[in-house]
Structure 1
Amino acid sequence: MAFKKAERTQLYLRCALFGPSGSGKTMTALLMAKGIADTMGVPFAVIDTEARSASKYSDRISFDVNDLGKKTVDDYITAMNEAIKAGYKVLVIDSLSHAWRELTDEVDRIAQNSASKNTFSPWAKVNPKQKQFIDAILNFPGHIIATMRSNTEWVIGERKDGKSVPEKVGLKPEQGKGIEFEFDLLMELDQKHQATVTKDRTGKFQDESIDKPGEAFGVALYDWLSSGTVVPVPETKPAKTGKAKTEPPKAVPAKTPLTEPPIAGSVKEKGKKIVDEIGVIITANSESGNPYFTEMEKGESRKIIESIHSDEAGIKDLEDLKTFLNDELSKRKAANEPKTAIPASVPAATQAA
């Protein structure tokens, strides 16, 4: 593929708001969505997992809502597919945290039923669901504003009159490690409804503090997003749920591990190649010489390999394990990079017409 002059294209917004309870995540998301939708002249929709909290503001803001009863990854993806079919171009997801809780609960269940009680092996089975969830968000053909709860703690602050007062502050978002890399705009809200822009691919608001961002801020974002070159609209296919592909592989006694010889040549060679690639991943070290994976994690990986059958299904399980470990290695490498490092470009899936 030849090089060509780079140009900025029109984009779909991928924005995430996070903060402690009471920081105004839902209202902020609704107002920003209203600003974008009104500018576009379209209605907007909300996927609500917060016990109909968004609907409490329906007397002030007009929107359509899907109140999720079940809050599994599959239900989120189904709701996003319904939004695509209905033609919504602006979507609020309030919030992403319940999907993450489903996955962590599943990991705990698998770990408790295992002999080792270690959660590393279950994550190799559950992580594909998280990947499908993120892919569904990135590939949505419209603007998405999502909220995330954050872990909180109380600290002692000082009021203007000098008196001490307890304040609730947010910590990291309740979602998967590295979730911040998936969004163009990341905003942290505090109890005073002040938003700090911690990540901004527009280059206009990085590190700014915005007092109660609302409709006007949504309009400003839309003006920037729509100012690039128009690109053709790709055909949008419904995002796949995890029902067919992400169920944990059935436990089968390991009669013929891939590490033993009596198997067909092509399958054996393919399996050995993947095992070798996994070995390279789990033994990777940082530039300072520190290993990215612990000895316990390496041991868990080897146990998984030894339990996999030497057949085509086993090859698929090995490939899934390699994908999981490779993704985990990428996250750990990124975590060791300087905090100023920002992804150089917006994923192609976020490009809009």
Structure 2
Amino acid sequence: MQLKQSKRENVKLRLGISGPSGFGKTYSALQLAYGLTGDWTKIGVIDTENSSVSLYSHLGTFNVLDLYHPYSPERYIEAIGVCEEAGMEVVIIDSITHEWNGTGGCLQIHEQLGGRFQDWAKVTPRHQSFIDKILSSKCHIITTTRRKVDYSLDMGGNGRAKVVKHGTKEITREGFEYELTVNFELVNDQHLAKVSKDRTGLFNGKPEFVINSATGKKLLQWCRIEPLPSKSINTRIKECLSVSELMGLYKQHPNYQKSHQAQFNQRKSELEQLSNPNNFSQNGTSVNQ
């Protein structure tokens, strides 16, 4: 065993894109992947969507692995391994929904075992192996997931049962989102996206946007930036000699933008005061005296 300093540049991203059919999950994933690599030949797509990815072959010469049923966890694991051995930098799994709810997927495996609660003891470890493969991969992983409208049957004030709509829900095992670095949810057929999970701090509180290659570049830059100790960020702020230098530091470290907003604003005011000609002295006498 050996301790070593952590480096964010060694982090491999685990990104999710979810949405109903026709909202642009595959296209968004390809744009994101290209931003991460800048090289289409380093992108591998595990396609379970009946070759829908071929619609975007005009974008570049990315690689496709067609995965047909049965969609067992083991076949997904094998497919990811093939992409790794081929030297892919980014692997797009389009989509992971089939591993859970497709022919030969976990729900069908559970049903074939008898559909009893205790039968999950045999299914869950197989599904977890699939999740573990995603988390341990040496590649950046982008998953796409189908969404469906989620309903529940609730009791109304009059004592009668009523159907209540709860928005949309990802078609995969609950909790997968918590394994991701960022989870993007496509909200309409214009490809507009919002984030439901963001460990990077790059997208929290931001308005809806269209995922493109610049989004991937932004995430890649985040991977390569060394996080600063909290005590040193204050020193770096004070050492800035111009507003432009201060803004560069602010943009370079998004994780400190909220926690050190007051320090950034104070230093900006100080620098603006220093650069204001009205505050300069004339013939040794300050104009403010």
Answer whether TM exceeds 0.5 for this pair: yes
Matched, 1:107 2:105: no
CA distance in 1, matches of 2:81, 2:7: 30
Report the structure number with the largest CA radius of gyration: 2
Corresponding residue for residue 55 of structure 2? 56
Give, as a single letter, the amino acid of the residue that structure 1 aligns with 2:110: V
- Gaps in structure 2 of 5+ consecutive residues: 152-164, 228-289
Name whichever structure is richer in helix by fraction.
2
For the Cα contact (< 8 Å) 1:194–1:209, is it kept in 2? no
Q: Please identify runs of 4+ aligned residues in structure 1 that moved more than 4 A.
A: 1-9
For the Cα contact (< 8 Å) 1:196–1:207, is it kept in 2? no
Corresponding residue for residue 194 of structure 1? 192
Matched, 1:125 2:128: no
> Residues 72-83 of structure 1 correspond to what in structure 2 (within 5 A)?
72-83=72-83
**SS of equivalent residue, structure 1 residue 208:** coil
For the Cα contact (< 8 Å) 1:19–1:170, is it kept in 2? no
CA distance in 2, matches of 1:206, 1:72: 34
Per the TM alignment, residue 151 of structure 1 is displaced from its structure 2 partner at its CA by 1.4
User: CA separation of 1:4/1:91 partners in 2, compared to 1, >3 Å: closer, same or farther?
Assistant: closer
For the Cα contact (< 8 Å) 1:84–1:141, is it kept in 2? yes
CA distance in 2, matches of 1:20, 1:170: 11
Residue 184 of structure 1, aligned match among 181, 184, 190 = 181
> Residues 179-258 of structure 1 correspond to what in structure 2 (within 5 A)?
179-191=176-188, 192-228=190-226
Corresponding residue for residue 154 of structure 2? none
Per the TM alignment, residue 152 of structure 1 is displaced from its structure 2 partner at its CA by 2.5
Per the TM alignment, residue 56 of structure 1 is displaced from its structure 2 partner at its CA by 1.1
> Residues 259-278 of structure 1 correspond to what in structure 2 (within 5 A)?
none
Q: Deviations over 1:116-144 (max 9, x none)?
A: xxx31111111001110001001110111
Give, as a single letter, the amino acid of the residue that structure 2 aligns with 1:106: I
User: CA separation of 1:31/1:91 partners in 2, compared to 1, >3 Å: closer, same or farther?
Assistant: same
For the Cα contact (< 8 Å) 1:150–1:172, is it kept in 2? yes
Corresponding residue for residue 134 of structure 1? 131
Per the TM alignment, residue 8 of structure 1 is displaced from its structure 2 partner at its CA by 4.3
CA distance in 2, matches of 1:46, 1:171: 25
Name whichever structure is richer in strand by fraction.
2
Give, as a single letter, the amino acid of the residue that structure 1 aligns with 2:32: M
Give, as a single letter, the amino acid of the residue that structure 2 aligns with 1:203: G
For the Cα contact (< 8 Å) 1:199–1:207, is it kept in 2? no
> Residues 148-187 of structure 1 correspond to what in structure 2 (within 5 A)?
148-152=145-149, 171-187=168-184
CA distance in 2, matches of 1:73, 1:92: 16
Between the two proteins, the alignment pairs up a number of residues equal to: 209
- Gaps in structure 1 of 5+ consecutive residues: 113-118, 155-167, 230-353
CA distance in 2, matches of 1:3, 1:59: 46
Percent of aligned positions that are identical: 37
For the Cα contact (< 8 Å) 2:13–2:141, is it kept in 1? yes
For the Cα contact (< 8 Å) 1:23–1:189, is it kept in 2? yes
Calculate the TM-score normalised by the size of structure 1. Answer: 0.55
For the Cα contact (< 8 Å) 1:169–1:190, is it kept in 2? no
Calculate the TM-score normalised by the size of structure 2. Answer: 0.66
